[in-house]
Amino acid sequence: MTDVLDSLSLHSAPPALRTGPLADAQAQLATAIAALGYEPGLHQLLASPRREMTVSIPLRRDDGSVEVLTGHRVQHNFSRGPAKGGLRYSPTVDLDEVRALAMWMTWKCALLDVPYGGAKGGITIDPRRYSPDELQRVTRRYTTEILPIIGPDKDIPAPDVGTDEQTMAWMMDTYSVSSGYTVPGVVTGKPVSLGGSLGRASATSAGVVHIALAALEHRGLKRSASTAAVQGFGKVGADAALFLTEAGVKVVAVSDQYGGVHHPGGLDIRALQDHVATTGSVVGFPESEALGGEELLVLDVDLLIPAAVEGTLTGANAHHVRAKVVVEGANGPTTSEADRILTEAGVLVVPDILANAGGVIVSYFEWVQSNQAYWWTHAEVDARLETRMLQAWNRLLDVAATRQLTLREAATVTAVERVADAHRTRGLYP
């Protein structure tokens, strides 16, 4: 495996020097390539993005000053269909992060047998420091810049960190104005009033919880007697915590970027959501103890859901994790070193490309509905989502047992094999 990985001159830096999400994504791919016995040429093709675009985004601020931001869109692979992936607004966005996220989207879509390839976009911006009007101007200019490479049959963006259904509405409108007619299928995760799907807003959270409950059962843990901690109380973590509580799991701790709260008897998640809506943070929630962000990761709970950002479980803290099951709500929250440590400690880690795939599944449902102009009920969406998630979970368990792999290795091997098969069937052009 090392010889194959070292033979690739990916993005200039030697393998020993690459760190961060892209290094983790490449390491996971290399492990799958070794297990499948693929040749270096196919490895290089699967490791390299098919298309990348970096754009400058000039913004006139509300005070009249001009600022230039940087945006990216990476299309990792489209052997199995049009590219699909979110758009994030974050001050930490850089090209390597977007490359990693696009690759993970390829494997996620393949693992769930959704007919997409993987893509991702991002703008280096802290959306909290900009007005709604400024964010609209940023979104519309970014959309205009990447217009040639997106479309309902090319690449379909969706919300991610720092973006929401309003962002998607602006993107859809900008694309539609350029086309001369309304094109609802160019994005997913848009408002229901503009052709969005019922159930899309909470789909990622719902998928995380379907898998979390199945993983607890797999480990012989009853949900009614289980405890959980959720890192991240945003669009994924907040609803995941609520759905876990409704399923009978006691959520004893949650955190956000400002801090965390803990209550051994279980937190009132609905009251906590109201508190966050009023104050902007979980910090200071009544009838709870303050908790540091790192402290939440090492609490003595049955289930840990890292649902914030990538790289939060690392070699520095993984030795101290006491959860029996880790279900990745965020993309890439566990580094390769932490993954090894947790596996050796007997912790069941359910990888992100399965655990948080609910969003892309319902995005696919939304895309289908938009293209057919036929809308499903909320109950239909929820039932189809649960079926797809649990089918993928059961297949993953079978592959892991048959090939003697961890769940992450089994997931990546399954996904990579499907993408490689599609590529080989299509052939190399010219």
Domains 49-181 and 203-355 share a fold: yes
Side by side, the strands of the sheet bearing 155-159 are: 51-60, 66-77, 117-124, 83-90, 155-159
CA proximity to 385, closest of 218, 204, 248? 204
Q: What Å distances lie between residue 180 and 173, 175, 311, 366, CA to CA? A: 10, 9, 42, 22
What distance lies between CA 266 and its chain's CA centroid? Answer: 27
pLDDT digits (tens), the chain, 430 positions: 333 333 333 343 344 345 688 998 999 899 999 999 999 999 999 999 999 999 999 999 999 999 999 999 999 999 999 999 999 999 999 999 999 999 999 999 999 999 999 999 999 999 999 999 999 999 999 999 999 999 999 999 999 989 999 999 999 999 999 999 999 999 999 999 998 888 888 899 999 999 999 999 999 999 999 999 999 998 899 999 999 999 999 999 999 988 999 999 999 999 999 999 999 998 999 988 988 868 899 999 999 999 987 788 999 999 999 999 999 999 889 988 999 999 999 999 999 989 999 989 999 999 988 888 888 999 999 999 999 999 999 999 999 999 999 999 999 999 999 999 999 999 987 7
Q: Are strands 303-306 and 289-291 parallel, antiparallel or unpaired?
A: unpaired
**CATH class assigned to 203-355:** alpha beta
- The predicted pLDDT at position 218 comes to 96
- The predicted pLDDT at position 357 comes to 92
The verdict on domain 49-181 having CATH code 3.30.450.40 is no
- The predicted pLDDT at position 293 comes to 65
- The domain ranges of the chain are 1-48, 49-181, 203-355
3-state secondary structure (DSSP) of residue 328? coil
Catalytic residues: 120
Contacts of 165 (CB under 8 A, 6+ apart): 159, 189, 190, 191, 196, 201
Residue spans of beta strands (DSSP E) within 13-65:
51-60
